[in-house]
Structure 1
Amino acid sequence: MATIPVTREPATHRRRSSRRATPRQGSRPAWELPALLLVLTLATVLYTWGIGHASIHPFYSAAVRSMSTSWRAFLYGGLDPGGSITVDKIPGALWPQAASVWLFGPHNWAVALPQVIEGLLTVWMLYRIVRAWAGQLAGLLAALVLTLTPVTVVLTRNTIPDTLLTLLLVLAAGSLQKAARTGRLLPLLVCGVWVGLAFQAKMLQAWLVLPVFAVVHLLGAPGSVVRRGLQVLAGGITALAVSCSWLLLVWVTPAADRPYLDGTTNNNPFTLVFGYNGLSRFGKDPSALGAVSGTAASRTTGNTGWTMLVNHTVGPQIAWLLPLAVMAAVLGVVWRKGQPRTDALRAGYLLWGGWLAVHAVVFSSSNGNHGYYTAVFAPALAALAGGGLAVFRSAYEEGGARRAVLPVAIGLTAVWAAILDSGHTAFAAWLLPVPVLLGLCGALGLWSSGPRTSERAVRAAFATGVAAVLTAPAVWAVSSLDPLYAGASTSPLAGPVGSSYLSMLHHGSGGYVGLHTPSARDAALLGYLTAHRDGAQYLLATQAAYSAEPLLRATSQPMLVMGGFTGVTPFPTVEQLSDLVSAGRLRYALLTTARPSTPDTAWVTAHCTRIPPSAFGRTSAGSFTLYDCGAARR
């Protein structure tokens, strides 16, 4: 972001008193910096509390451990240090985590540290962007709302790619805002770069903002329509080029010189992105463009449809301020009617309102979503909430018919919070009436104030209203510091929702996933394999990533992951597997009944010898069976 411009208020908004005049250019009121530092401190505490035992994703963290020890695995996103097969995503979001583990060692806090930094940067950048758009109060409120959004807190304490995606898209929005305000091309090209980097974090989801960005620039930027159109085209080409850079690198690299691409039947990077992680998640063709059909391990079928944002599970993660945000988006545009085409305030409402609307439509139309996917909604909701409260307060001070909007917005949002929380009365039972009571106090205080009401009383009523709309999300956000209310490492959710919460509630701890800390059972298996490896290149072959994950997190030895994440990716072929065994490059294979049988697993059971569990310190085989393929050498 460039130097923060002067804070501008709508021309129709008049300050109640000269004591509250807008600060001159370059100045900051005395309260702004301490308030910002307080918000950032709060975010730091929420994001780092107990980071030594951070919830790390078992699949991604296994890849991160491998990527931290091998440049080949790092570049291509190899699941094992040998780089035989990739993760089923573009590895961009894992690069910061792998770099952190390489620098600090295989610790949980080292994997989580980049997420914390990304989360804090998102809060700070959103403050700057909203401040430049709607003023100091709006910027601070937006930062506070984002900090206290439950899904933001729980996800920043995890190692899932959405935190980096959100940061990069916020940076893109800031560049787009500057381009639309100045009419310059360079900020729009920078916006394209940020979107392209966001694509490296989570592929096609990064492109959802592009139609909104294009419309905002075409409608709101200065200059002729031809100039604006050419600028949008240039920005789009930049976004496409940066987005496809990794895909093109992989595409031109001979297949023999890189890992096999998980999730594909044809080892094609475009299938990985546009098929397996794209079209197959919409419609009825699970094998679109040559993708591997998703399994229960790789697909979710819930949290979709037009009520997705407000259902029992997702609503408490993200939707607490949804009524306020919608009111702000609609009224922010309507109230700017008659202003010049380049009106920056209206452009901001179009930007954040469009961001919210497009994501809602796309997510509602997909085959299913994890609840944490909605973290990308948080910046738009926070910006609209902060901007809305600021502009509604200005309208309140101006007087007239619009004066009623502020107390109505606060009261409606407080009631909505009670509705969202009403399905969870067993959790923080005291919480249900608090937003309503605070909201009523704040709304009535604002509604009943008159010309003789002191400025201090008005501020107190407004502060009470802000507290009303933030109390419920704050409680849910803070609850995620307790592992009981943090969801699963594979699907983090705040509060008493989700299958992980129910499992922990009835069966105790959900287990601890750590780097370099194998369980006694896994340590015994690794010790046996190391002692009997007999010079093989691979420590063992595993059936699917599910079998390999705990071992890859514990050691940096190469492993052949047959079938990838789903277990059904056609790698390696039976011939390749047989050749590896014949050449003495592979001796052991670990199969599991938790994944479907494949030609590879059939070959193992037909040609290899089953090893009794007692040989490597287990009393029973459970769902895993170890085979010795040494006798299968030709």
Structure 2
Amino acid sequence: MATMPTAQSTGSHGRRRTSRPGEDQSHAPAHWERPALVAVLVVAALLYGWGMGHAAIHPYYSSAIRSMATSWRAFFFGGLDTSGSITLDKLPGAFWPDAVSVWIFGPHTWAAALPQVVEGVLTVWLLHRIVRAWAGPFAALIAALALTFTPVTAVLNRATIPDTALTLLLVAAAGALQKAVRTGRLLPLITCGVWVGLAFQTKMLQAWLVLPVFAVVYQLTASNTALQRALRLVVSGAVALAVSCSWAFIAWATPAADRPYVDGTSNNNPFSLVFGYNGLSRFGDDDTALGAVAGTAASRTSGNTGWGMLVNHTVGPQIAWFLPLAVLAAVLGVLWRARTPRTDPLRAGFLLWGGWLAVHAVVFSVSNGNHPYYTAVLAPAIAALAGGGLALMRTAYEAGGRQRLWLPSALVLTVVWAVVLDAPTWFAAWLPALAVILAVGGALGLWISGAGASRGLVQGSLAAGIAATLLVPAGWAASSLDPLYAGASTSPTAGPVGKTYQSALRDRSALRRVGLDEPSDHDITLLDYLVTHRHGEKYLLATQAAYPAERLLRAQSQPTLVMGGFTGKTPFPTAPQLGDLVASHQLRYVLLTPVRPTTPATTWVKSHCKRIRSGAYGWRTKGSFRLYDCGRQN
């Protein structure tokens, strides 16, 4: 077994010296660094990208991705269909790379998922680079490994959900802030604002959660005068605000007739989508705040909230494997460096990543409910703290004294916590058992090693301890390669947890994945009927909410009027608008479903249009859809 590498760099006279945590590690990498990083990135690429042809793409988002790949109007505004009649209920920024990929490679499932794989691997590489500059190569390697094997990271990077792009851009912002603190230059701070603004385009207000942490860390630790720091923060904040609101402002300034209706809003205002539907309505009882559509909270998960959310039986195994180590590292990093100068870069890093973790944990705990994959944004902070903390404890271990016991104790604590998280399912029971054996052996080796102990014993013991901490989460992460343990495409989770896993145990059909350009027989017969009977109408058909439209839009890029948007409650089109479209021969067919709410528009269809027998378009069973011909009056 190869010995664990040490954090060393070459001095000006060719001598080897131990580099202190927090020292800029940007030059003279040790011989083991690049091979180790390449190995981690290869593992990440395989873990995230294997079997992309059957990736769990989101049925709603992937429908829009195909439409955006074939229409500039749909691309820019995030139109759900090629005509761009109504937008997604999110900003389109996270889906632009996916749409470009589908435009280049064609409407394939793997083409839609490829950008997520690339974004995931880039996040691992970028975090390694940032942590190396902050706490050294040893810390960077641990951080990269911890992030790679975080289960929610692995399963999310195999989906088409905005949080992957959000995480990458926020990590880039943290790196720019770190550079601004270290160099005292303005440009990196402005760059930080740009990255946060771009992150806003992917997940809106969630991107701003890091801003208070960034501001406090810069004001407390940057080398400039207090006034300079404050003024520069104002400039960077203004840049972040301008970039963040750029799309919403352009959409707001565009005449309503020249753009899609903004989903999730009662007033067709993009700012209501951002600050109401995807903002305030998630934190209170009034889900119509700032023009949001009434009743949208019913479409979200109602669980996974409260102060124990991060460690419950579903969310805990997704994100919390290194959580105790991360918290311990943040506390020790601040306490042990309390007497250092204000600008101490190592303490600044612990404040940065610790603040990132704390703010997100509080917000998730008080919001109305969260999908487990929301916690993926915590993974870089936890991984960075784990790497920086172990590097700090390793330095204390090598220095001797009572603080040397923190390193083996932290490794044992992490493995014990892994057993606690795994215990409710006892998933792959041999992994926790092996982790305990490695942890005990590694900790004993470190505890009994004195000043005269061989270097090989210390390095081997440390390697065993670190391997023990990674073993169980790596098993959970790898489980996502099996559809049984990958959760729903709308809410990915790794391992034997969640409703999808329980349903799959009873009926394997619950694992059925949607794909681009993979229509079912039902979809084909319906599309053939609609295309055959279309005579110049603008829209192939209208649907009641996005649910009936998703499958057809994934199969073909056709102009489709999605009435009511994602939830079915968005007031577009109104009944008079629908009547005008029918009267002007822009629309003939409407597909309704009883599983979405009745609206004035759907009531108009039932009273003015003729229902078509399912056998006419090749369906042997009625199912949950009803096709109406508005060219034939009741």
- 2:519 counterpart of 1:522: no
1:203 corresponds to: 204
- 2:493 counterpart of 1:493: yes
| Residue identity in the other structure for 2:19 | T
- 1:22 is matched with which residue: 13, 19, 23? 19
| 1:66-93 superposed Cα distances (whole Å, 9 cap, x missing partner) | 0000000001000000000000010000
The 5 Å alignment of 1:260-409 reads 260-295=261-296, 298-409=299-410
1:508 corresponds to: 508
Determine helix, strand or coil for the equivalent of 1:95: helix
| Residue identity in the other structure for 2:508 | G
After TM superposition, give the deviation of residue 296 of structure 1 in Å: 6.6
Query: In structure 2, what is the Cα distance between the partners aligned to 1:559 and 1:201?
Result: 25
| 1:527-585 superposed Cα distances (whole Å, 9 cap, x missing partner) | 00011112211000000000000000111110000000000100000010000001111
Determine helix, strand or coil for the equivalent of 1:244: helix
1:66 corresponds to: 67
| Residue identity in the other structure for 1:290 | G
1:479 corresponds to: 479
Aligned residues: 618
2:454 corresponds to: 454
1:467 corresponds to: 467
1:150 corresponds to: 151
Query: In structure 2, what is the Cα distance between the partners aligned to 1:297 and 1:82?
Result: 28
1:571 corresponds to: 572
2:192 corresponds to: 191
Retained in 1: the 8 A contact 2:66–2:107?
yes
After TM superposition, give the deviation of residue 297 of structure 1 in Å: 6.4
Retained in 1: the 8 A contact 2:26–2:132?
no
| Residue identity in the other structure for 1:490 | T
Determine helix, strand or coil for the equivalent of 2:632: helix
After TM superposition, give the deviation of residue 439 of structure 1 in Å: 1.5
Determine helix, strand or coil for the equivalent of 2:299: coil
After TM superposition, give the deviation of residue 435 of structure 1 in Å: 2.3
| 1:487-534 superposed Cα distances (whole Å, 9 cap, x missing partner) | 110000000011111111110032121111100011000000011112
Query: In structure 1, what is the Cα distance between the partners aligned to 2:395 and 2:98?
Result: 44
| Residue identity in the other structure for 1:527 | D
After TM superposition, give the deviation of residue 632 of structure 1 in Å: 4.0
Query: In structure 2, what is the Cα distance between the partners aligned to 1:474 and 1:620?
Result: 45
Percent pairwise identity: 67
After TM superposition, give the deviation of residue 25 of structure 1 in Å: 7.2
- Unaligned runs of 5+ residues in structure 2 are 1-6, 10-14
2:111 corresponds to: 110
After TM superposition, give the deviation of residue 298 of structure 1 in Å: 2.8
Query: In structure 1, what is the Cα distance between the partners aligned to 2:123 and 2:615?
Result: 51
- TM-score, structure 2 length as denominator? 0.96
Query: In structure 2, what is the Cα distance between the partners aligned to 1:250 and 1:21?
Result: 55
Query: In structure 2, what is the Cα distance between the partners aligned to 1:396 and 1:453?
Result: 13
After TM superposition, give the deviation of residue 445 of structure 1 in Å: 1.2
Retained in 2: the 8 A contact 1:53–1:109?
yes
Query: In structure 2, what is the Cα distance between the partners aligned to 1:566 and 1:173?
Result: 35
Retained in 1: the 8 A contact 2:198–2:244?
yes
After TM superposition, give the deviation of residue 8 of structure 1 in Å: 9.4
Query: In structure 2, what is the Cα distance between the partners aligned to 1:563 and 1:297?
Result: 15
Query: In structure 2, what is the Cα distance between the partners aligned to 1:43 and 1:25?
Result: 23
Determine helix, strand or coil for the equivalent of 1:423: coil
Query: In structure 2, what is the Cα distance between the partners aligned to 1:586 and 1:252?
Result: 28
Retained in 2: the 8 A contact 1:323–1:413?
yes
Retained in 2: the 8 A contact 1:486–1:494?
yes
1:4 corresponds to: none
Query: In structure 1, what is the Cα distance between the partners aligned to 2:345 and 2:78?
Result: 41
Query: In structure 2, what is the Cα distance between the partners aligned to 1:389 and 1:440?
Result: 17
Retained in 1: the 8 A contact 2:139–2:391?
yes
Retained in 1: the 8 A contact 2:415–2:468?
yes
Query: In structure 1, what is the Cα distance between the partners aligned to 2:234 and 2:285?
Result: 33
Determine helix, strand or coil for the equivalent of 1:411: helix
Retained in 1: the 8 A contact 2:80–2:87?
yes
Retained in 2: the 8 A contact 1:422–1:432?
no
Query: In structure 2, what is the Cα distance between the partners aligned to 1:491 and 1:269?
Result: 25
- Unaligned runs of 5+ residues in structure 1 are 1-6, 10-17
Query: In structure 1, what is the Cα distance between the partners aligned to 2:37 and 2:554?
Result: 38
Determine helix, strand or coil for the equivalent of 1:561: strand
What CA RMSD, in Å, does the superposition of the two structures yield over aligned residues? 1.4
Query: In structure 2, what is the Cα distance between the partners aligned to 1:621 and 1:292?
Result: 31
- 2:135 counterpart of 1:127: no
1:615 corresponds to: 616
Determine helix, strand or coil for the equivalent of 1:630: coil
Query: In structure 1, what is the Cα distance between the partners aligned to 2:297 and 2:189?
Result: 40
1:222 corresponds to: 223
| 1:300-353 superposed Cα distances (whole Å, 9 cap, x missing partner) | 111110001000000000000111101110000100011111000000000000
| 1:586-619 superposed Cα distances (whole Å, 9 cap, x missing partner) | 0000000111111111111101111011001111
2:51 corresponds to: 50
1:213 corresponds to: 214
The 5 Å alignment of 1:79-90 reads 79-90=80-91
After TM superposition, give the deviation of residue 294 of structure 1 in Å: 3.9
After TM superposition, give the deviation of residue 292 of structure 1 in Å: 0.6
Determine helix, strand or coil for the equivalent of 1:177: helix
- 2:571 counterpart of 1:545: no
| 1:331-390 superposed Cα distances (whole Å, 9 cap, x missing partner) | 001000111110000000000000000000001010000000000000000000011111
Query: In structure 1, what is the Cα distance between the partners aligned to 2:579 and 2:123?
Result: 50
Determine helix, strand or coil for the equivalent of 1:590: strand
Query: In structure 1, what is the Cα distance between the partners aligned to 2:224 and 2:621?
Result: 74
Retained in 2: the 8 A contact 1:352–1:383?
yes
| Residue identity in the other structure for 2:303 | G
1:13 corresponds to: none
After TM superposition, give the deviation of residue 29 of structure 1 in Å: 1.1
After TM superposition, give the deviation of residue 26 of structure 1 in Å: 2.2
Retained in 2: the 8 A contact 1:415–1:435?
no
| 1:43-98 superposed Cα distances (whole Å, 9 cap, x missing partner) | 01101100111110000000000000000000100000000000001000010000
Retained in 1: the 8 A contact 2:8–2:16?
no
| Residue identity in the other structure for 2:485 | Y
1:587 corresponds to: 588
2:3 corresponds to: none
